[in-house]
């Protein structure tokens, strides 16, 4: 049997991938990690790998039915830009202000997954956000937008074939809304609206590399009955539109203990329309966002792999860069 296949199979789950891809790549990691862990009494590593390979032929790559997983992640991102506050009425400029912005964003998130079936996993993600704006000396400490996910794999994984997973996401507006704060005195920690999304993720082992890709679409619900003061006007309604996203990359296992992945994501966001109480409208044009992510997975114990990642913004609207770390949380209450 091919050892590189097993290494690549582990890598898809262990490496820190983009958010859309992670939904479909986290499945059979616990079985594979335990099987590949170097434990006392292991007589033959080759035999061990063959057992994992054979087991993988019958399993889905999501959480096994009735199993749990809990993960912690920490992410830091930095964004510096210039915000333009512009109001036009009857062809005349009433208000023009260019405001510099330099924002540090720290997110601590706990993700929980539960296997309803061998090929159906549900989960939730709870983020705790800390933001700091060095230009305006503002800070915020609060929950972010809590999200719920579902992942379904219609066909069992077969070595050498493409693995396909469908996923869906519902994002709440539990974070501090950017449309309900004093924008001169406060920072937001959430989007300010509900979102519904779904997509398709695919991966395949091309010994010794795993290649993967994902496409998704998100519809953002309209928010109305707002009462936010913006300059001389009162914001009443926000129509955020929809967004499309695609990502692709590859993962490579350098050894039993080290894995590397590189991926890129491209997103399109439709225009956002702001409607004010006096009937005026402001339109934020649609935009394209590109992001490059590199992740290193390091085994620190027989059952724990720590993923560290570095992201670089490729377009003006993306964060300048980001740093992240994630690891599983293991305790007896979540074991089968």
> Angle, nearest 10°, between helix axes 29-36 and 45-56?
170
- Alpha-carbon span 34 to 157, nearest angstrom: 19
- What is this structure's pTM? 0.77
Contact 275, 228 (CB under 8 A): no
Which CATH architecture best describes the domain 3-334? Beta Barrel (2.40)
Least confident interval from 12-26, 91-105, 322-336: 12-26
- Alpha-carbon span 11 to 336, nearest angstrom: 23
Domain boundaries, the chain: 3-334
Least confident interval from 242-251, 264-273, 280-289: 280-289
For residue 102, the model assigns a pLDDT of: 81
Phi, psi of 14 (to 5 degrees): -80, -35
> 2-32, pLDDT tens digit by residue?
333 333 333 333 333 334 334 333 444 333 3
**The residue count for the chain:** 336
* Average pLDDT in the chain: 78
> 272-308, pLDDT tens digit by residue?
999 999 888 888 888 899 999 999 999 888 778 899 9
Mean pLDDT along residues 72-79: 92
Degrees (nearest 5) of the Cα angle 190, 193, 197?
100
* 3-state DSSP assignment of residue 4: helix
For residue 85, the model assigns a pLDDT of: 53
For residue 43, the model assigns a pLDDT of: 38
């Amino acid at each position: 049997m091919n050892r590189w296949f097993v290494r690549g199979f582990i890598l898809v789950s262990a490496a820190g991938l983009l958010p859309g891809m992670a939904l479909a790549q986290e499945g059979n990691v616990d079985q594979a990690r335990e099987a590949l862990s170097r434990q006392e009494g292991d007589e033959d590593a080759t035999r061990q790998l063959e057992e994992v390979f054979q087991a993988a032929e019958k399993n889905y790559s999501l959480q096994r039915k009735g199993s749990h997983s809990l993960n912690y992640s920490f992410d830091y991102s930095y964004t510096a830009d210039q915000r333009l506050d512009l109001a036009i009425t009857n062809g005349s400029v009433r208000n023009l202000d260019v405001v510099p912005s330099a924002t540090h964003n720290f997110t601590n998130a706990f993700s929980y997954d539960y296997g309803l079936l061998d090929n159906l996993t549900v989960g939730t993600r709870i983020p705790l956000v800390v933001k700091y704006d060095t230009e305006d000396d503002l800070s915020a400490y609060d929950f972010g937008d809590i999200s719920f996910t579902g992942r379904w794999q219609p066909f069992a994984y077969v070595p050498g074939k493409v693995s396909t997973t469908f996923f869906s996401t519902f994002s709440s507006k539990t974070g501090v809304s950017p449309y309900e704060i004093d924008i001169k005195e406060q920072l937001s920690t959430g989007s300010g609206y509900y979102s519904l999304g779904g997509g398709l993720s695919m991966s395949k082992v091309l010994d010794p590399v795993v290649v993967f890709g994902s496409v998704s679409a998100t519809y953002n619900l309209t928010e109305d009955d707002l009462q936010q003061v913006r300059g001389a006007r009162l914001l009443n309604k926000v129509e955020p539109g929809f967004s499309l996203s695609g990502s692709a990359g590859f993962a490579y296992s350098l050894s039993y203990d080290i894995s590397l992945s590189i991926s890129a994501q491209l997103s399109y966001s439709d225009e956002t329309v702001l409607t004010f109480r006096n009937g005026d409208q402001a339109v934020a044009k649609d935009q394209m966002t590109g992001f490059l992510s590199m992740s290193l997975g390091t085994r620190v114990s027989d059952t724990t792999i720590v993923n560290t990642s570095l992201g670089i913004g490729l377009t003006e609207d993306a964060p300048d860069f980001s740093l992240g770390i994630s690891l599983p949380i293991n305790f007896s209450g979540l074991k089968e």
